[in-house]
């Protein structure tokens, strides 16, 4: 499978009479966008705001982030099962508005949504302080049940992202990136002498608004399976979950998965990138046993020497992470784990809910319980009162002057377990 990403770099957003891109400026026809979104009768109103890096602006509660993309050439359409048909994607040419994002906000039944600060200390922890954001603020129609709104908001965010990119099809790309994923017979015999490395990609699927979708199918209903990394870049996997904002994999992060990008960067040099296995994070012991055994079986069938395993969420999914680890290690496959920590505000508590002796190679994305004070902002989009009920907030978190004290857990993408965050480390 061969995929070209045609990237238009967006550095500024403006309102205009038509939607399109020119000289790195994305112009948005607000009325046209709103009218399209209000075709969904579950929405009473949609307010659209434009927000830039460095502004004194705060967005909360933020649910999902989506990078604008659409197909230029090839089978299917991005976000299959939601925008396009369920045809296989990951081939042909895809247009990307790099540097832009669609952020969604509005009332949901779940409290686990996040904060995006565009400036100040909070901006240092969220990657979406660096994107030019088209923010959709939703007001549901009367009578729509709260638990149904997640799907309504998810569809609207994807539609908006696809619309923005589709209006820019005639614009010449600033850069073109090419990615190839050959048939397995070729991949297995390529680069003799280099270790074969696979990627075990854990998807949040605990249910009760803790869902991820693969070609429109709820991931908790699947067995672990192989997927081309190029399919991921075309939106085959999208976020439908309301887990803690710090480590949820937003749709934007799936599209730009840095684990996949790094494996591609090392492919043919240090490793032979053999493929991606997606698996779920269900809640029963039987489901965990089934999925971990099946995922490791696929890894053995690929003949990989090593697996990179990334988690999504914490607590219950820690058991899946560790089960995947020790089963792979005991099958002779070396593992590296990517997770974050809930080690208490002082960092002295147990970082994970489970562990095993085999889990001796682990990359941490940071301690989500660490406290931060966010100063007041001149512009607040959404509902600041939710700071006291979202995960990482607490009663009294919101102060009279508009500042707030929260854990990093409340900041969108702060300790993302794909590594798509602004926390990093280096050896001195």
Residue range 136-179, pLDDT digits in tens: 999 999 988 877 888 899 999 999 999 999 999 999 999 999 99
Q: Would you place residue 257 in the very low, low, confident or very high pLDDT band (cuts 50, 70, 90)?
A: very high
Pick from 20, 420, 27, 422: which is nearest to 239 by CA?
A: 420
pLDDT the model gives residue 148: 84
d(CA 310, CA 85): 29
Of 206-220, 238-252, 263-277, the range with the highest mean pLDDT is 263-277
Euclidean distance between CA atoms 202 and 279, whole angstroms: 5
The whole-angstrom separation of Cα 196 and Cα 273 is 6
pLDDT of residue 149: 86
Query: Structure pTM?
Result: 0.96
Residue 116 in this model has a pLDDT that exceeds 90: yes
- The pLDDT score that the predictor gives to residue 422 is 85
Residue 287, H or E segment: helix 285-302
3-state secondary structure of 229: helix
Classify strands 100-105 and 237-241 as parallel, antiparallel or unpaired: unpaired
Reported as a single tens digit per residue, the pLDDT across 391-415 is 898 999 999 999 999 999 999 999 9
Q: Give pLDDT, residue 187.
A: 85
Strand partners, 198: 275, 307
Question: If 0-12 CB within 10 Å is exposed, 13-18 middle and 19+ buried, where does residue 284 land?
Answer: exposed
Question: Percentage of the chain with pLDDT > 90?
Answer: 84
Calculate the average pLDDT of the chain. 94
Least confident of 102-106, 206-210, 221-225, 324-328: 206-210
Confidence of residue 109 (pLDDT cuts 50, 70, 90): low
Per-residue pLDDT, 106: 83
| Selected residue with higher pLDDT from 188 and 231 | 231
- What pLDDT, on a 0 to 100 scale, did the predictor assign at position 248? 93
* pLDDT band for position 112 (cuts 50, 70, 90): low
DSSP secondary structure letters along 340-354: EE---TTS-S-SSS-
Catalytic residues: 242
What is the rounded CA–CA span in Å between residue 241 and residue 309?
A: 20
Q: Which residue has the tokens 């040099």?
A: 269
pLDDT for 84:
80
What average pLDDT does the segment 256-264 reach? Answer: 97
Residue 297 vs residues 10, 98, 271: alpha-carbon distances, Å: 43, 37, 21
d(CA 150, CA 209) in angstroms, rounded, equals 7
110 pLDDT above the threshold of 60:
no
Q: How much is the pLDDT for 45?
A: 96
What's the per-residue H, E or C state across 352-418?
CCCCCCCCCCEEEEEECCCEEEECCCCEEEECHHHHHCCECECCCCECCCCCEEEEHHHECCCCCCC
pLDDT tens for each residue of 5-56: 999 999 999 999 999 999 999 999 999 999 999 999 999 999 999 999 999 9
* Tokens, residue 191: 């680069």
């Amino acid at each position: 499978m061969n995929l070209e990403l045609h990237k238009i770099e967006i550095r500024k957003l403006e309102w205009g009479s038509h939607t399109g891109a020119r000289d790195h400026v994305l112009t948005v026809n607000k009325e046209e966008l709103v009218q399209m979104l209000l075709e969904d009768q579950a929405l009473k109103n949609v307010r659209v705001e434009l927000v830039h890096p460095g502004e004194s602006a705060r967005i909360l509660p933020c649910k999902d982030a989506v990078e604008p993309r659409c197909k230029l050439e090839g089978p299917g359409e991005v976000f299959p099962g939601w925008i396009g048909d369920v045809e296989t994607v990951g081939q042909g040419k895809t247009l990307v508005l790099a540097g832009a994002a669609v952020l969604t906000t509005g009332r949901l039944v779940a409290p686990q949504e996040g904060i995006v600060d565009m400036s100040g200390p909070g901006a240092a922890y969220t990657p979406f302080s660096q994107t030019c954001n088209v923010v959709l603020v939703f007001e549901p129609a009367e009578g729509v049940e709260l638990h149904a709104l997640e799907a309504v908001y998810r569809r609207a965010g994807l539609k908006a992202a696809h619309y923005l990119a589709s209006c820019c099809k005639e614009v010449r790309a600033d850069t073109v990136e090419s990615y190839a994923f050959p048939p397995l017979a070729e991949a297995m015999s390529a680069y003799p002498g280099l270790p074969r490395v696979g990627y075990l990609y854990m998807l949040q699927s605990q249910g009760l608004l803790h869902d991820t979708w693969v070609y429109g199918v709820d991931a908790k209903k699947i067995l672990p399976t192989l997927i081309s990394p190029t399919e991921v870049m075309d939106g085959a996997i999208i976020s439908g979950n309301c887990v803690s904002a710090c480590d949820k994999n937003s749709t934007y992060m799936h599209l730009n998965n840095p684990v996949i990008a790094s494996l591609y960067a090392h492919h043919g040099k240090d490793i032979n990138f053999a493929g991606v296995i997606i698996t779920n994070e269900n809640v029963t012991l039987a489901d965990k046993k089934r999925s971990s055994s099946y995922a490791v079986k696929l890894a053995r069938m690929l003949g990989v020497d090593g697996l990179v395993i990334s988690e999504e969420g914490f607590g219950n999914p820690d058991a899946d992470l560790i089960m995947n680890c020790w089963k792979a290690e005991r099958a002779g496959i070396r593992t590296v784990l990517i997770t974050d920590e809930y080690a208490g505000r002082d960092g002295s508590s147990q970082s994970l809910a489970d562990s095993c002796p085999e889990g001796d190679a682990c990359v941490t994305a940071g301690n989500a319980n660490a406290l931060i004070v966010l100063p007041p902002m001149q512009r607040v989009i959404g509902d600041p009162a939710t700071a006291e009920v979202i995960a990482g907030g607490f009663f009294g978190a919101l102060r009279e002057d508009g500042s707030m004290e929260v854990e990093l857990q409340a900041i969108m993408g702060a300790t993302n377990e794909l590594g798509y965050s602004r926390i990093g480390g280096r050896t001195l």
